[in-house]
Structure 1
Amino acid sequence: MTAARTVSLVARRELAARLRTRSFVFGTVLSALVLAGFVLTQSAVFDDRHRETIGLNGQAIAVSAQLVEEARQVGRDVRTVEVTDLADGRARVADGRLDALVSGAPAALTVLVSSGLDDELRGVLNGLVRQQVLRGQLAALEDPTGLDVDGLLRNVAEAHVTVRTLSSPDPHRDERHAVALVVVALLYLGFLLYGSLVAQGVVAERFGGVAEFLWPVVRPGQQLGGKVAGLGLAGLVQLLVVGAVGLLVALATKVLVSTGVAVAAFVWGLVWYLLGFLLYATVFAAVGVRVSRQEDVQAALTPVTVVLLVAFAFGFALLSQDPSGLLTVVLSLVPPLSPLIMPGRLALGAVPVWQVLLSLVATVAVIAVLVRISTRLYRKALTN
C-alpha cells in the first residue's frame, strides 16, 4: 500500500468519524444560525459610527462649534482641529489622520475626503452652508418689504457643500468591511476548534494504544498526516455549509448587493482556511505529542491558543481601524498572522499580487518546516 493511499485511508476514517458525530451536526447548525442572525442584524452590529476628526481651514474654522453640535444631533461624534496649511491637511486626509478637511467661506464650504462623503455628514455640512446663505441674504436686504421669497428659498435650496475626493469612492466599502470581519471570525473559530481536535486525537491515540496497534501498516507520519487531513476536511465541510448559508441569507435580505464581493471573499477564505489549518494543526499536533498525561492537554494547548487569539485580535482590530496601514500590510505577510489577516485584506479590496504570492509562499514554507518537526516528534513519542 502506497504512502498516499495510506494517508487517504486514515483521512477518510477521521472524516467519516467526525461527520457522524452529534457535535459536528449541532455545531454546524448552530454556527449557521448564528451567522444568519449576525447577517440579519449586520447594520446594528457593524455600525461604523465612531469619533471622526475633521480639519477646518481658514474661514471654515468659524463653524467649528456649530458643526460639532449639528453632527451630535444626528448621532455623530465629531472632533474638529484647526489646519493652517492646506497641503498638510490634504496629506493628513490621505494617511487617515483626518476623516475630512473643510475649507472655504461658511456659505461655500469645500470638503476634502479620501474616497467618499457619507450622506449624514454631507447633510450636516449642507445644512451649515444653507444657514449661512440664508443669513447672508437676509442681512443684505435693505428693504424687507421687497423680499423675494421664492428667490430666497431657491438660493438656499441650491446651496450645498462642494465635495472633492482623493480617490474614487468604493460603493461596496461597507459590504467588504462586514464580509472581511466575518471571514476572519470564521477562520479563527475553525483553526481553534479543529486544531484542538488534532491535539486531542493525537493524545488519545498515544495513550489508547491505537498508534502502536496500527504501527505495522501505518507509519507515524502517515497516521499524523491522515488525521490532520481528515479533520481539516471536516472543518472545510462545516465552513462550506456555514458560509453558504450566510451568503444566501445576506443576498436574500439585500444585506449584500454585490455577489462578486462575497463570493470572492468566500473563495479566498476557503484557500486560507486550508493553509491556516495546516499551519496551526501541525503546531497543535506537536504540542499534543509532548503531553505526558491526557489531563494536561488543555493546559499544554494554552500557549498555542493564546497566539491564535492574539493573531485574531490583531487581525480584527487592524482590519476594522487601519486596513491599508503599513502595520496591517506587514503582518498580513508574516505567518502565523497571514492566514487571518490576508484573507481579510483580500475581502476589503485589491491587494498587490506580489503581496498575496509572498504571503502564500511564506505560509507554505512555514507549514513544510512545522510538518517535519511534528512528524519527528510524533515518531519519537511513539518509539519511546
Structure 2
Amino acid sequence: MNRDQRTDLALIRIVAAREVTRQLRNKAFWASVIVTAAMLCLSFSLTDVLKGDGESPPAVGVVGEGSTVAAALRPQVTVEKYTDTGTARTALRDEAVDAVVLRDGGVLVLRNLSAELGRTIQQAQQTAEQVERLKELGAAREETERAIVPPALRVSALDADAGVVQERTMTAGIGVFLLFTLMLISGLGIAQGVAEEKSSRIVEVLLAKVRAWHLLAGKIVGLGAAALVQIVLMMTAVLTAAIGFGVLKAPLNAVGTAANLLLWFVPGYVLFVTLYAVAGALVSRQEDVNHVIGPVNMLQMLSLAGPALAVRPAPDDALLTVVSMTPGLSWAAMPMRMAVTEVPWWQALAAFALMLLAIAALVRFGGRIYRGGLLRYGGIVKVGEALRGAAH
C-alpha cells in the first residue's frame, strides 16, 4: 500500500469516525433501539400468555367417588371429584371448575356451557354407559379400561421439520421488516444530513480538506457501522426474549437465520445508503429531500417482493429465483428464500457476487453524481448536470 492509499484510508476513517460519533450521541438513535426491541419483546410475552391461556384444559367436577364418567373425562379435561353436590356447587361458584356432572347425569354450570365442553361431557357419558354395559355382560377389567382410555394415536409427519422451517421463516420475516424499517429511517437521515451540509456550506469547508469520494465513502462506512451496532443490539434483545418466552423451539436455527440475514443486509445497506447520499447531494434545501428520494424509496419497497413471494404455498419457482438474485432485491429475498427452502450454493454465491458488483458500479457512478451535485446550488440538480459538473 503506497502513501496515497494510506492517506485515502486515513481520511475515510476520519469521516467515518465523525459519522459514528454523531449517531451514537443521537438520542433518537438509542430511543429507536429501545422502543423497537421493547415492543417486540412485549409481543412475545403476550403471545406466551395467550398461548398459555389457550392450552390450559377446562376443569370439570364430578360428584361421586367411583364415577365412570370421571375416568372417561380425564384424558380430555381436568377432573375434580366431589363427594356431595353441595361441595361441587361451592366449587362452581368459586370458578374452580367450569361445569359439574351430577350423579344422575345432569350438568351444572355457573352461567353457560360452551359447545365444545358440552360435546366432551356428552361423549364421556356415552362412553361410561358403554362401559357399564360391558361390566354387566361380564367383560374383563382390561377390556373396560381400554373402552375408557383408548390407545394413543400413532402420528407420523410427512414433514417433520415443518416447525423448524416455520421458526426460520418467522425469524427471517421479522428481521427483514426490522432491517427494512431501519434502512428507510437511516436513508432519510443520510439524505437530510447531506442536504444540510450542502445548504449550510459546510461541505465547501470539508471539500477543501478531503475529496468528495472520501466524504461519500466515510459516510457509508460510518453510518453502516452505527447501523450494525443498532441491529446487533435489537436482534440480541429480540432473540433473547423469543427464546426466554419459549416462542422458539429451535433457537440455534433462529440464530443462524438471523446471522445469515445480517450478512445479506450489509451489502444491501451499503447500496441503499449510497443511493440516499447521492440523492441528498442533488438538493440545496432540506425541504426538497422528499422529492429526490422517491425513486430510491420505490426501489427499496420493491425489495419486499422477495419475502412476499417466499411465503407463498409454492415458493420455489422461477420468479422467486430471479428476484432473489437481482441486486437491490436479493438482500431481503435470498435470506428469506434460504429460510423457507433449500437454495443451491452457487445461486447464493452468484447473488452475493452480483450485489458486490452492483455496489462497485454504483459507488463509481454515484460518486461522480455526488461530487458534481455537492457544489451546485439553486433548486434540484438534475443527474445530467451533476455528471457534467463532476467532469470539470
TM-score where L is the length of structure 2:
0.66
State the partner residue of 1:179.
171
Q: Find the partner of 2:362 among 347, 353, 370.
A: 370
Say if 2:279 is the partner of 1:274.
no
Kindly provide the amino acid, as one letter, of the partner of residue 8 in structure 2.
A
Shift of the alpha carbon at 1:325? 2.3
In structure 2, do the counterparts of structure 1 residues 280 and 216 end up closer, same or farther at CA, with 3 Å as the change threshold? Answer: same
Does the C-alpha gap of structure 1 residues 207 and 261 become closer, same or farther in structure 2, counting only changes over 3 Å?
same
1:60 corresponds to: none
Q: For the structure 1 residues 382 and 229, does the alpha-carbon distance in structure 2 shift closer, same or farther, using more than 3 Å as the test?
A: same
For 2:220, the equivalent position in structure 1 comes to 228
Aligned ranges 1:290-301 → 2 under 5 Å: 290-301=282-293
Conserved? CA contact 2:172–2:261, under 8 Å: no
1:321-362 CA-partner distances (Å, limit 9, x unpaired)? 247321323211112211111122333454321121011011
1:319 aligns with 2:276: no
Alignment of 1:104-183 (within 5 A): 154=146, 157-158=150-151, 165=158, 168-183=160-175
> Match for 1:252 among 235, 244, 253?
244
Q: Quote the residue 1:216 is aligned against.
A: 208
Contact 1:284 1:304 in 2 (8 A): yes
Return the letter of the residue paired with 2:273: A
Distance 1:262 1:270 in 2: 12
Going from structure 1 to structure 2, the CA distance change for 1:6 and 1:258 (only over 3 Å counts) comes to same
Q: Is the 8 A contact 1:261 1:347 kept in 2?
A: no
Q: Deviations over 1:46-98 (max 9, x none)?
A: 9xxxxxxxxxxxxxxxxxxxxxxxxxxxxxxxxxxxxxxxxxxxxxxxxxxxx
Match of 2:191 in 1: 199
Largest Rg, 1 or 2: 2
- 1:17 correspondence with 2:18: no
Structure 2 residues not aligned, in runs of 5+: 1-5, 52-122, 131-135, 377-392
1:164 to 1:191, Cα distance in 2 relative to 1, 3 A:
closer
What one-letter code is carried by the residue in structure 2 that aligns with 1:338?
S
1:158 Cα shift? 4.9
Matched with 1:35 is: 40
Q: Aligned equivalents of 2:169 and 2:222: distance in 1?
A: 32
Q: Aligned-pair distance for 1:235?
A: 1.0
Alpha-carbon displacement from aligned partner over 1:188-233 (angstroms, at most 9, x marks no partner): 1122111222211221121111221012321000011111211111
Alpha-carbon distance between aligned partners in 1 of 2:184 and 2:368, rounded to the nearest angstrom = 23
Q: Distance in 2 between matches of 1:45 and 1:333?
A: 39
SS of 1:254's partner is coil
Mapped contact 1:7–1:223 kept (Cα < 8 A): yes
Q: How high is the TM-score relative to the length of structure 1?
A: 0.67
Q: Distance in 1 between matches of 2:337 and 2:320?
A: 9
The residue matched to 2:303 in structure 1 has which SS? helix
Structure 1 segment 89-108 matched on structure 2, within 5 A: none
The C-alpha deviation readout for 1:250-307, integer Å capped at 9, x for no partner, is 1112211323112212211221221111111111122222224321101221222132
Instruction: Report the identity percentage.
Output: 31
Distance verdict in 2 for CA 1:318–1:43, change over 3 Å: farther
